Amino acid sequence: MARPSDIIVIGAGIVGCAVAHELARRGASVELVDERPVGMGATQASAGVLAPYIEAREESPLLGLTIRSLDLFDDFVARASADGGVAVPYHRTGTLDVATTDAEMRALRAQADLLSRRDVPAILLDRAAVRAEEPQLGDGAIGGLMIEAHGFVAAGDLTRALVAAARRHGAQLIEQRRVRRISGRDGDIVIETDRGSLTGNAVVLAAGCWSGGVAIDGITEPVPVRPVRGQLLWLAWTGTPLRRVTWSSRCYLVPWDDGTLLVGATVEEAGFDERTTVAGVRDLLDAACDLVPRAWTAGFRGARVGLRPATPDDLPVIGPSRAMPNLMYATGHYRNGVLLAPLTAQLLADAMLEDKIDPMLSAVSPSRFGDL
């Protein structure tokens, strides 16, 4: 692609904001457009857990992508925070993955083997050791695996920092505009919205599970991204906080500096229904109280919901369109939008501004789903 200078990024979730910041700081002129305020899609319900070795439990392209992105995270947060002037809570205190059945314990042993083959520091814990590591665990805990490299970040603050940082580098944020169509016209790209059109010479589609709803000239089958609902609870903890992100097969718990605890998350095929539900809240409360009984004494601050953008193979869609010149995809990040944001931004900016095509892009190419 000839180096584009005017780039329109569709979608102001964490991925779109990371891409906008990276392009703007490397000198492109960027417009970031969304119907909703910044970070109000899947990002609003993210607990911000950064855990490649839990999200991808075996050797896979997802593992490779998430590990590489986690390696970028220190610099990514520091730069967004410094450029944007927004403090971003971020901790690399590890995860404790708790087993409550023999089958889960066997899976943790297999995971420990994989980590040891990769020289990743991890500690396999028996019943007594896991309780010593986290004294607040319930009686059901029979063992655990501690992975030190993992962490968590305040996804909302990070997204706000990225937008502020992008704007400091000249990007424009255009809110309350629903993008309807992307067309090519005389070498330019025209974005039709419900309130007028925008023109640039390249576009990045980063609209999460709404990406398939944007019509694109010449493309009959849209990018296959579907919504997978995630509900999340926000609790006010009392007493000693949990030491780190604590995970079970039914929920994960994220302890924040301000004494609150996030409990994530349901995984539901509910179409575009963005409601929190009684069933979702009850399942998460049960799971949290079984894992750490002290959760019964917590205050209830609220429930959040977001629609994760999932693809048929659970891998994101990142890279150039085969059907429309100067259209790039950055969508379908499913459970790992926050974790994969820095790598997505870097790979796209390298491809768009420096013509550098990273070999990793082949696994996430839009063309695996046809002529997109």
Residues that bind ligand GLY (CB under 6 A): 49, 230, 264-265, 308, 335
- Find the shortest distance in angstroms from Cβ 296 to ligand GLY: 23
Between CA 17 and CA 39 the distance in angstroms is 9
Of the pair 52, 200, the CB lying nearest ligand GLY is at 52
Taking the complex as a whole, the smallest distance from the CB of residue 161 to ligand GLY amounts, in Å, to 20
DSSP 177: -
83 CA to centre of own chain = 21
Least spacing, CB of residue 199 vs ligand GLY, in Å:
35
In the complex with ligand GLY, the residue whose CB is nearer, 225 or 352, is: 225
Q: Which is nearer to ligand GLY, 159 or 321 (CB)?
A: 159
Going by DSSP bridges, is the β-strand pair 151-153/90-91 parallel, antiparallel, or unpaired? antiparallel
Q: Could you give the angle at which helices 61-84 and 155-168 cross, rounded to 10 degrees?
A: 60
CB of 69 to ligand GLY, least distance (A): 13
- Find all residues with CB under 8 Å of 291, minimum gap 6, and list them: 98, 137, 138, 140, 141, 246, 248, 250, 251, 253
Minimum Å gap between C-beta 321 and ligand GLY is 27
Q: How far is Cα 135 from Cα 137, in angstroms, rounded to an integer?
A: 6
Q: Is 5 helix (H, G, I), strand (E, B) or coil?
A: coil
CB of 46 to ligand GLY, least distance (A): 7
Which DSSP string do the residues of 130-143 spell out, in sequence order?
HHHH-TT--TT--E
Closest to ligand GLY by CB, 141 or 265: 265
Residue (54 or 137) nearer to ligand GLY, CB: 54
Q: Containing H/E element for 180?
A: strand 179-185
Nearest approach, Cβ of residue 265 and ligand GLY (Å): 4
State which residue, 327 or 340, has the beta carbon closest to ligand GLY.
Answer: 340
Cβ closest to ligand GLY, residue 25 vs residue 304: 304
The single residue listed with the structure tokens 């894992």 is 291
Distance of CA 113 to the CA centre of its chain: 27
Closest CB 227 distance from ligand GLY, rounded Å:
12
Beta bridge partners of 228: 308
Q: Which is nearer to ligand GLY, 79 or 335 (CB)?
A: 335
Helix axes 337-354, 61-84, angle to 10 degrees: 80
Q: Which is nearer to ligand GLY, 232 or 327 (CB)?
A: 232
Q: Which helix (H) or strand (E) holds 24?
A: helix 14-25
Least separation in angstroms between residue 264's CB and ligand GLY is 5
Spatial neighbors of 240 by CB under 8 A, at least 6 apart, are: 136
Nearer to ligand GLY, 228 or 323 (CB): 228
Q: Are 331 and 15 in contact (CB under 8 A)?
A: yes
Please state the length of the chain: 372
d(C-alpha 344, C-alpha 145), whole Å: 29
Query: What's the min distance (Å) between Cβ of 119 and ligand GLY?
Result: 25
Secondary element (H or E) of residue 283: helix 278-291
- Distance of alpha carbon 106 from the chain centroid: 28
